Structure 1
Amino acid sequence: MQTVTSLPADDKMCGWYHTSRSRTPKAAHTGESKARWAVIGAGFTGLAAARQLALNFPDDEVVLIEAQEVGFGTSGRNAGFAIDLPHDIGADDYIGDIATAKTTLKLNLLGQTILRELVAAHGIDCHMNASGKYQAAVGERGVAVLEAYRRGLDKLGQSYEVIDGKALPKHIGTSFYRQALFTPGTVLVQPSALVKGLADCLPPNVTLYEHTPVTEVEYGDKIVLAHRNGRITADKLVLANNAFGMRFGFLERTMLPVFLYASLTRPLTPAEQAELGGKPFWGVIPADPFGSTLRRTHDNRILVRNSFSFNPDGRPKEHYLPRFAQRHRLSFERRFPMLPKVDFEYTWSGSLALSQNHKGFFGQLAPNVYGALCCNGLGITRGTVTGTLLADWLAGKPNPLIDFLLETSGPNKAPPEPFLSLGVNATLWWGQRKAGLES
């Protein structure tokens, strides 16, 4: 019997969750149940896996188990960038091995396609917009990053536009940046709205249980998932819960639960929108990975996302929120001095499952146990495509992309504590300090 020693418990003021449509959560599980398939985690990966398992095995019952509420957890807390391009931060040109990059591009594009088709087929109101993204630099160091990425994009044969800082206000309303690299293939979404919509259009042979945190697991010929109000017995288990997969006894010390923090303003008034200028809908990512991500949303709010913490138990620390909200305020004021009276309505945290070698896990973890874990910050596209392809692999469907994922070495092992926390915290501190005005 494996005891699950840490459970998700996200903070309560996620702006994406509160500004998306409300829905009635599915009932929590009670009593004794049996199913052919059980999937743990109703984020992008788990929703995709459960959907595709149900389609591949229409006579089987698929149980999807969520510890919290759909749209409230990690998948509803990111910045909403469904990115198409590979971005290997370990490579000088951010592309690296060209064959790997081309396959990664195919994976990301397939993830985008799956989501586009589901949003169109089911009328999911998630403000999906193929608006591209701006990767923006403040100083010379950031400009050098953009130049390196341009070389990589040239090698990959992908289009882009270099925008001088003087021209940027016409795009994003601020003259704060020195240069930006615009790539057209990114799709922006309201992430919590998308996750909620995906959960509400699952095939009929998927049963979703929310507010059902699993506390114990028994592995063997059957998988027994126990929680405080009952048990679910399944023939096969799929783990789609990212870093919490380690709490189920697998891939220990390979995934780093790193938290990012975001704030969302109130809606801008018509006068403030005119003062800001620029396009009505856009997204900016920083040239420096430790800098600030920005969004202007469909309802004319501004999102600021920066600041990191390493929380080994995978749970947020709410006492960090006021401190990081002050950082968000400073970042906002630097970029938007024309909006001095615009306050934040929401501040929240969201976790990333990162590995030291920037690789995820895909495949079999143990007899009757499978997983698609560790998205390394690309959960929308990568989670969607790996969840879908894992279900196809379990159905015996051949696909070169599946072969590529199976052949990937997976996340490597990190040092034990206390060396792990010391090393990660030092890296985060130095990275944020070095980012300077990018943050």
Structure 2
Amino acid sequence: MKIQELPADDNGCGWFHLSKKRPVRPAHSGHTRARWAVVGAGLTGLAAARQLALNFPDDEVALVEAQVVGYGASGRNSGFAIDLPHDIGAPDYIGDPATARMNLKLNLAAQAIIKRLVSQHGIDCQLSPIGKYQAAIEDKGLRVLEAYKSGLDKLGQAYEIIEGNDLPDHFGTSFYRRALFTPGTILLQPAALVKGLADSLPSNVSLFEETPITEVEYGNPIVLKHAKGSITVDKLVLANNAFASNFGFLKGRLLPVFTYASMTRQLTEEEQFRLGGKRAWGIIPADPFGSTLRRTPDQRLLVRNSFSFNPNGKTTNKLLRRVAATHRQSFERRFPMLASVGFEYTWGGAMCLSRNHTSHFGELAKNVYGALCCNGLGITRGTITGSLLADWLAGDRNELIDFLLSSRGPNQNPPEPFLSVGVNANLRWGQYRAGLES
């Protein structure tokens, strides 16, 4: 089958440009035979390829990336490796307690993998186990914090409520009325993490960058074709999230929703003093449509908000200009003392969501497998599902694998044009209702 859409992210991602440059691995050319192929060298694909190589040390694993490592969605998020369940479809962000406990185990296992690999390979990705804040300004946001607090109580998880008068000691800004701090989140530089993981793969992984697959012949064997040749394999793992639909799977079940971020230049010493607060922190909004913020270890401020549904997996320069203006308003509301500090980068990045907030894990067709649709938790969920999929393919079973296999998977979406009209209308309405949280 022909692949109709290919990844084409914008060139504005601050994380990518500020992370250490690395030699790009050559694109594939000619005709190669391998036992395994993994499509997509984001966090899921890197984890799957690494674990396949370790589980099958005598097999060659071809890891195929359409763009450059770190340039795609895995390098474009806000850098929160969250430990706690984060079900945005549940009023208390927790949902069913039994499911939440399993998701907690998955997230903690992912964090352990990330910390081990970062330490083992000396990956400089600003890894900071400093927790996260969930902050509110609107009455609705305060109610969300109360609900989240009750959910954390059910799970027996630690937290701290910080009232508005004390928040400037944490953030510098007096914008928020209350925050709920949880200590287990890891903050990091996502593009630096992805690059470091790619450069420390086992020797039996062959990474091919800038090799977009344009056609697939499913059969025994499977043939992946591209402009300069082909890769023939026995087994295929898809780790390309919403682009899996272009490979013929989960059609009409995945939602490529883009969110957008802007990052400032580095703050001067005087500006840092004017801001005050801690030197690094991360804030997620009480309202899912609100603004996420980071103060990075290298003293930049990041604002992420605004959403759009892009079925083709691409954004536009016009939309980037519009969201940059929105980010400016959000920034100046929170940091009036830094109104003269400009943005150096603005970018968009895709999240793969499903209407029922579930993922796909396991078989897609004979000899084709996938770990797809992270629902906004790409760092932890991508890392652990890629790893566990490779373990399952090696014959392992445990409670985490069984839990993932038991998922009913993403729901069917309404047909077009109703889908695009409905999703974008809901996104606009959600952002409007977020009020000052945005």
TM-score normalised according to structure 2 size: 0.99
Q: What does residue range 35-434 of structure 1 map to in structure 2 within 5 Å? A: 35-434=34-433
**Aligned residue type for 1:42:** A
CA displacement, residues 272-311 of structure 1 (integer Å, 9 cap, x when unaligned): 0000001101000000000000000011000000001110
Partner Cα distance (1:122, 1:16) in 2: 20
**Is the Cα–Cα contact under 8 Å of residues 7 and 315 in structure 1 kept in the other structure?**
no
Q: Secondary structure at the match of 2:337?
A: coil
Instruction: Supply the AA of the counterpart residue of 1:9.
Output: A
Structure 1 residue 142: deviation in Å? 0.3
Structure 1 residue 397: deviation in Å?
1.1
Structure 2 CA distance for aligned equivalents of residues 90 and 299 of structure 1: 34
Whichever residue aligns with residue 57 of structure 2, its letter is P
For residues 167-223 of structure 1, the C-alpha deviation after alignment (integer angstroms, 9 at most, x for no partner) is 001001110000000000000000000000000000000000000000000001111
Q: In structure 2, give the amino acid aligned to 1:108.
A: N
- Kindly report structure 1 stretches of 4+ aligned residues shifted beyond 3 Å: none
> Does the 8 Å contact 2:133/2:179 carry over to 1?
yes
1:63-90 CA-to-partner distances (Å, cap 9, x unmatched) read 0000000001110000000001002222
CA distance in 1, matches of 2:335, 2:437: 14
> Hey, what's the Cα distance between the residues in 2 that align with 1:390 and 1:310?
28
Looking at structure 1, the residues matched to 18 and 151 of structure 2 have their Cα atoms a distance apart, in angstroms, of 37
Cα distance, 1:318 vs structure 2: 2.2
Contact 1:268 1:301 in 2 (8 A): yes
Contact 2:40–2:240 (Cα < 8 Å) also in 1? yes
State the secondary structure of the residue aligned to 2:22.
coil
Task: Give the whole-Å Cα distance in 1 for the aligned partners of 2:196 and 2:89.
Answer: 35
The 3-state SS of whatever aligns with 1:252 is coil
Q: What is the Cα deviation at residue 161 of structure 1?
A: 0.2
Q: Give the aligned residue type for 2:410.
A: P
Percent sequence identity over aligned pairs = 69
The answer (yes or no) to whether the contact 2:29–2:229 under 8 Å persists in 1 is: yes
CA distance in 1: counterparts of 2:193 and 2:94, whole angstroms: 29
TM-score (norm 1): 0.99
Amino acid at match of 1:388: S
Structure 2: which 5+ residue stretches go unaligned?
A: none
- d(CA) in 2 for partners of 1:231, 1:359: 33
Deviation at 1:61, TM superposition (A): 0.1
Q: Which amino acid aligns with 2:196?
A: G
SS in structure 2 at match of 1:171 = helix
RMSD, aligned α-carbons = 0.6
> Could you report, residue by residue, the CA deviation over 1:214-255 in whole angstroms, capped at 9, with x for unpaired residues?
000000111100000000000000000000000000000111
List runs of 5+ in structure 1 lacking aligned partners: none
